[in-house]
Amino acid sequence: MAFLPSLASVVPSAVPGALPAETTSVGSPALNISIFVGFVLVTLVVIIKVASGKKSAGEFYTASGGFSGRQNGVAIAGDYLSAASFLGIAGAIALQGYDGFLYSIGFLVAWLVALLLVAELMRNTGRLTMADVLSYRLKQRPVRIATAVSVLAVSFFYLLAQMAGAGGLVSLLLGVSGDAAQNIVIAVVGIVMITYVLIGGMRGTTWVQIIKAVLLIAATAIMTVWVLGKYGFNLSGLFQGAIDKNPAVGEKLLEPGVKYGVNMTTKIDFISLSLALVLGTAGLPHVLQRFYTVPTSKQARKSVEWAIWLIGGFYLLTLVVGYGAGALVGAEEINAAPGKANSAAPLLAFELGGSTFLGIISGIAFATILAVVAGLTITASATFAHDIYKEVIKKGESTSDQEVKVARIAALVIGAVAILGGMFAKSQNIAFLVALAFAVAASANLPTILYSLFWKRFNTRGALWSIYGGLISTIGLIIFSPVVSGKAPLVEGGPSPSMITNPDIDFSWFPLDNPGLVTIPLAFFLGWLGTVTSSEYNAQKYAEMEVRSLTGHGVAKALDH
């Protein structure tokens, strides 16, 4: 089982075990490891420098809103451009051409939802967690519990995908293989991440994300110029190179359909995925948490502006890097490498600049995973400590010190769960987890966020029906979809590409891999239905929320807490 290449194209996949001889000779593991260790040491020094002794809850979860819009925008890019973006999209473009590009566009356009509808109003009405906004004018306890459940679910799926990806990346980049070695690396990643979070809180984590974003974008820009230079800065020539090197796909690399156009199910599946991507981003809890790290809505706007420029710029570079890998490395070699599609960018780095450049790219890929998991952990622990412990268990009667203590313990537990989950999931095909996180965010979180910010009549029953309905329907449909069981084997008698690799086990009845097309409209409908069947309405609280959301009144004061 351990030798099965996973079909993950989005998340770096785990392929423990036998590495073909020619790939183990690519690059120098010692160099890769030392660059990674160097990154960890430098960022630790930065974290210790910026960490300021005792932390209030606001400091621990949001750095007391002390970042500028520009800093936060770079950090958002660092948080968002996960290994999936860097390795996954470049690899998808290298192998499937246009469809990989198509996929990246959804990730970018999604930011307009955050810019226009969510970021500023969230910043103005919330303080510490997403539930602050959702429970503002509704019944505190039930809405906080529901929101916390949904936030923890999204964070868990996302975290698991990243941690399992770390294991896969190891065999690819460090040349270590075998179960024990991979488990050790997952544990090391987890422990470093917990250290970042405990010492640095949100302030330290944000700086890690800023450093990582700068390194990642700079390295990708260098690769882009390098590739284009080889083709005389002629994009058309680069495409020709990719076509020539991949005769099996040929000209089809330049048009959509190689991956998503196979049949009607894959086509509808992609529409479903697009919907979840474009509406999910603005409902991802670790993204929303970042809007609290700036002092005002104007800075929140500026954060998203910067994030859009950087993320958009990055995906444009990825287009060149992806086709560059297709042209200079070739699909055959990429497919033969451990990690398959995910190895496209590292192999291109080796092709361009040898072991040293590969080492730099590998180190950055690790840094990427670290920064993303640290951001997720902060958000999940803030949700647990603030929404569950303080507001629900202690009914608001706990000090900031107690709350931070609980948040730290929560971070330790979440870190431990992530490490164990990553070890367990590393040989599983868990590519669907990132898509699942987006689908849950778009179904369970976004409808309630939009309704509470924009719909006067919205009330508690609507929120609960929408959150639980969105969450349960999304997870339920995934369980009964082909990603969990029942996909036909790629080769006769081979394993199924589903999570359950035994092709004889098949309990799927929902045809799509991505449930968003059903669950997102359903959650919006349930939010409406719950609201109109309940008479609850608090005019005074609605006025307070609306006035504050648009004028920013009370934000500065809230920061003193």
Partner 1 sequence: MSNDARTRGDEDPYVAMQATDEFQELRRKFRGFVFPMTAFFLVWYFVYVLLSIFAPGFMGTKVFGNITIGLLFGLGQFVTTFAITFIYARWANRELDPLADKLGSRLDGVKEH
Q: Which residues are within 8 A (CB) of 76 and not within 5 positions of it... i.e. 6 or more apart?
A: 209, 287, 290, 303, 304, 306, 307, 311
Binding flag, residue 553, partner 1 (CB under 8 A): yes
Binding flag, residue 17, partner 1 (CB under 8 A): no
Residue 274 to residue 512: CA distance in whole angstroms: 13
Q: What is the total count of residues that contact partner 1 (CB under 8 A)? A: 59
Binding flag, residue 551, partner 1 (CB under 8 A): yes
Using CB under 8 A, which of 46, 50, 117, 479 touches partner 1?
Answer: 117
Binding flag, residue 435, partner 1 (CB under 8 A): no
Site for partner 1 in 359-398 (CB under 8 A): none
Cα–Cα distance list, 108 to 300, 518, 556 (Å): 17, 23, 31
Using CB under 8 A, which of 184, 316, 416, 417 touches partner 1?
Answer: 316
Using CB under 8 A, which of 252, 355, 405, 455 touches partner 1?
Answer: 252
Using CB under 8 A, which of 267, 395, 489, 511 touches partner 1?
Answer: 267
Shortest distance, CB of residue 106 to partner 1, whole angstroms?
A: 8
- Do residues 470 and 443 lie in contact, with contact meaning Cβ atoms separated by under 8 Å? yes
Burial class (CB in 10 A: 0-12, 13-18, 19+), 463: buried
Closest CA to 290 of 302, 280, 303, 281: 303
Binding flag, residue 262, partner 1 (CB under 8 A): no
Shortest distance, CB of residue 16 to partner 1, whole angstroms?
A: 36
Sign of CA dihedral 341, 342, 344, 345: positive
User: Which span sits near partner 1 by CB under 8 A: 11-19, 148-156, 433-441, 546-554?
Assistant: 546-554
Using CB under 8 A, which of 61, 101, 432, 451 touches partner 1?
Answer: 101
Binding flag, residue 550, partner 1 (CB under 8 A): yes
Binding flag, residue 495, partner 1 (CB under 8 A): no
Using CB under 8 A, which of 75, 108, 174, 321 touches partner 1?
Answer: 108
Tell me whether residue 316 or residue 336 sits nearer to partner 1 (CB atom): 316
Binding flag, residue 312, partner 1 (CB under 8 A): yes
Q: Which residues are within 8 A (CB) of 231 and not within 5 positions of it... i.e. 6 or more apart?
A: 237, 238, 241, 327
Site for partner 1 in 144-183 (CB under 8 A): none
Binding flag, residue 112, partner 1 (CB under 8 A): yes
Binding flag, residue 536, partner 1 (CB under 8 A): no
Q: What residue spans of 480-506 are helical by DSSP H?
A: none
Task: Report the length, in residues, of the chain.
Answer: 561
Residue 297 to residue 123: CA distance in whole angstroms: 6
Using CB under 8 A, which of 80, 157, 239, 384 touches partner 1?
Answer: 239
User: Which span sits near partner 1 by CB under 8 A: 154-162, 294-302, 381-389, 405-413?
Assistant: 294-302
Ramachandran bin of 399, using left for φ above 0, alpha for ψ from -120 to 50, beta for the remaining angles: beta
Binding flag, residue 236, partner 1 (CB under 8 A): yes
Binding flag, residue 49, partner 1 (CB under 8 A): no
Give the contact letters, 471-490, x = binds to partner 1 (CB under 8 A), - = no. Answer: --------------------
Cα–Cα distance list, 363 to 239, 357, 368, 370, 394 (Å): 29, 10, 9, 11, 43
Binding flag, residue 80, partner 1 (CB under 8 A): no
Two tokens at 509?
């009845």
Sign of CA dihedral 48, 216, 95, 282: positive
The amino acid at residue 483 is V
Residue 559 to residue 561: CA distance in whole angstroms: 5
Residue 84 to residue 453: CA distance in whole angstroms: 31
Binding site residues, partner 1, CB under 8 A: 98, 101-102, 105-106, 108-109, 111-113, 115-117, 234-237, 239-240, 243, 251-252, 254-257, 260-261, 267, 270-271, 274, 278, 297-298, 301-302, 304-305, 308-309, 312, 315-316, 454, 539-540, 543-544, 546-548, 550-554, 557-558
